[in-house]
Structure 1
Amino acid sequence: MSETATNAACRLGNCEVCAAQPARYACPKCEVKTCSLPCVQIHKRELNCDGIRNRTKFLPLSEMTAREFMSDYCFLEECTRYTEQRKQDRWKHQRELPVPLQRLRTAAKQRGIQLKLLQSHFSRRQQNTSFLDWKLSRLYWRVEWIFTHSLDPSTHFVDARCDEQLTLTALLTKYFNEPHKQLQPHQAAGIGQVSLWLRAEGVKRSGTRCFQLAPHKTLAANLAGKTIIEFPTIYVSYEQRPPEGLEAIDSDEELDIVPPSAEVKPTTVKATQPTEPTDVFALAASFETAQDDASTESSSDEHEARDEV
């Protein structure tokens, strides 16, 4: 046995699988000490281990060596490279969407609605039942109704299929005709006296802001010009004011996306015209001509002075 193997055996101890031979290897993932390939295969099969080190496992700073530091550095570089690639590929998320969702988003865009779809592991994405009936060219939205100022603060109802061509009053009629203990204040006020508010998305401080909706207009008309994440959430209040904790804004107020008119245009700096190179010989000739003219004038002045004397 070589000196390196002897040192490793002394450091690792006996094999944890067969306990008969000195250990020569340590699993990068579970740190099980083994002595040979058969023992490595046994430990992988019994512990369901793939032998790949967990690069995000917590390790105390006192136990870190130069190898761990270099591994973390390479891992961060890989994360940065992956993030930059995702930023540069603008259409990657769209290609990953199923065809029905792409049609749904395209149809919403044609109606002036900016529909944003989340990743598949989000609960709001899994709950969304909105779809496009491409034969009728009509959208059916999943709508979440939250009745504020009710006896139960968490009172909310969900409609899986709301025709975009129906008015909000028509969509809410069933909640005012059927008796609901939690909706007694709203039913007492009447459907004509309630106010509707859409949860704001795509604006600054969207968590505390909302848009006022027109009950006599269709769902499509109310959602036009708005940003929707998966499906709309509408607050129903029997008072003519926004729900508690929310403030009303206009649809074009304080958007998160800077409009093209507000973009700062780069200032153009006019380049100065380069001066033409000076001809040294022409400059010298003009200087000699000036000297000759000056000497001629001085000689003529001397002659005039002599004549006067």
Structure 2
Amino acid sequence: MADGTSTKTSTMRLGMCEVCAGNEARYACPKCEVKTCSLPCVQIHKKELNCDGQRDRTKFVPLSEMTSREFMSDYCFLEECTRYAENRKTDPCKRFTHDQRNLPVAQHRMRMAAKKRNINLRLQLANFSRHKENTTYLNWKQERFYWRVEWLFANIPPEASLPCDVARFVDERCDEEVTLADLAVKYVDLQQETARDQRKLLANHQTAGIGQLSFWLRAEGVRRSCTRCYLLEATKTLGENLAGRTIVEFPTIFVTHEPKPPGGYEAIDSSDELEEEQEESPMTKPGASSKAIAEDLDDSHDVYHDLAAAFPGEDASETEDDDEFEALYRERVEGIQDYGLH
């Protein structure tokens, strides 16, 4: 009898169900504290309020309202945080947060082979998605690259209902000895199965024909590379077009049916890239040679002599002053050279 009375008192303490308002509440949601009477009412309240029923352990609770349950919950929460931090210290992914000097043998050979072809191949760390997607293969018996190529066909018709006006296709391995026109013909020539399957997306490019298409390589390793690209020649092989360029993992090539870069991009020439790399002065460039420093100081020395000669009241032609100044200057240059060598 006493047990029945205590149960009734505990249910009455919660009041009436806030969902159906027809029964006494039996449960209280740990997160939003909505009072419910049954499982259907619990499910209704979760759906209407978008509630997951998980108590917010970081919710502010006044000190006057804290009970042993809140203290124990906070203690468990701090232990979970400590455990998470300890696990992150031993996470194998942290090995890829800094550059590894020693590349695997296959990647090292690939980069050296690209260097012989005058291609600056940059390989990302193993944890990067672009590195995981890369399927570029170097056949050592044939001494030939088979590149993964990402094709981005620009100026897609609006009726294609794409989120952007660019259609993306990927070829896993493209022979470096094949021309760009031959590699892209399967997307343009309607006699090819791929072209027929993508007729809706590539209608503009197929209408223009392979001879009217322009190919643009997305620039890497230069300033504002996200908005710049190089013009490629369709009659040259893939390897010839990549020579002298910087490639991050694999090339990304835009294809347009107009003789201009895709929207939002500007053309860049290789000479522009070279000029940008040489913008730094020999004095500010790290590892500058002592000869370059001395030549730069020689220019400053000549300017000093001109100013001294033009200054009234000074005779710049006195040999003793010249010899003394020259000796002091050479001593300073030798000191700078010694500093550069060390």
RMSD value over aligned CA atoms?
A: 3.4
Residues 186-215 of structure 1 deviation map (CA, whole Å, 9 limit, x = unaligned): 000000000000001111111111000000
Please tell me whether residue 217 in structure 1 is matched to residue 236 in structure 2. yes
Deviates more, 1:214-223 or 1:171-180: 171-180
Matches of 2:85 and 2:126 in 1, distance apart? 27
Unaligned runs of 5+ in 2: 1-67, 90-96, 190-194, 284-291, 302-324, 329-342
Structure 1 residues 50 and 171: alpha-carbon distance in aligned structure 2, compared to 1, 3 A threshold:
same
Residues 87-135 of structure 1 deviation map (CA, whole Å, 9 limit, x = unaligned): xxxxx6340x221111111111110000111111111111000121011
* Alignment counterpart, residue 141 of structure 1, candidates 144, 147, 150: 147
* Alignment counterpart, residue 206 of structure 1, candidates 225, 230, 248: 225
Shift of 1:257: 6.4
Please tell me whether residue 114 in structure 1 is matched to residue 120 in structure 2. yes
Structure 1 residues 123 and 268: alpha-carbon distance in aligned structure 2, compared to 1, 3 A threshold:
same
Matches of 1:209 and 1:49 in 2, distance apart? 46
Structure 2 residue identity aligned to 1:186: H
* Alignment counterpart, residue 154 of structure 1, candidates 166, 184, 188: 166
TM superposition score normalised by structure 2:
0.52
Matches of 1:233 and 1:51 in 2, distance apart? 39
Q: Is the 8 A contact 1:202 1:255 kept in 2?
A: no
1:198 is paired with a residue of what secondary structure?
strand
Matches of 1:215 and 1:31 in 2, distance apart? 62
Matches of 2:327 and 2:282 in 1, distance apart? 30
Q: Is the 8 A contact 1:194 1:238 kept in 2?
A: yes
**Paired position in structure 2 for 1:195:** 214
**Paired position in structure 1 for 2:176:** 164
Q: Is the 8 A contact 2:114 2:120 kept in 1?
A: yes
Q: Which runs of 4+ in 1 moved over 6 A?
A: 51-56
Shift of 1:263: 3.7
**Paired position in structure 2 for 1:236:** 255
Q: Is the 8 A contact 2:155 2:166 kept in 1?
A: no
Aligned positions, number = 203
Identity among equivalent pairs (%): 46
Residues 123-165 of structure 1 deviation map (CA, whole Å, 9 limit, x = unaligned): 1111000121011110010000000001242311000000000
**Paired position in structure 2 for 1:182:** 201
Structure 2 residue identity aligned to 1:169: A
Shift of 1:262: 6.2
Residues 45-77 of structure 1 deviation map (CA, whole Å, 9 limit, x = unaligned): xx7975977999xxxxxxxxxxxxxxxxxxxxx
Matches of 1:102 and 1:247 in 2, distance apart? 33
Shift of 1:222: 0.2
Matches of 2:84 and 2:272 in 1, distance apart? 55
Matches of 2:279 and 2:140 in 1, distance apart? 33
CA radius of gyration, larger in? 1
Unaligned runs of 5+ in 1: 1-14, 20-26, 33-46, 57-82, 87-91, 275-309
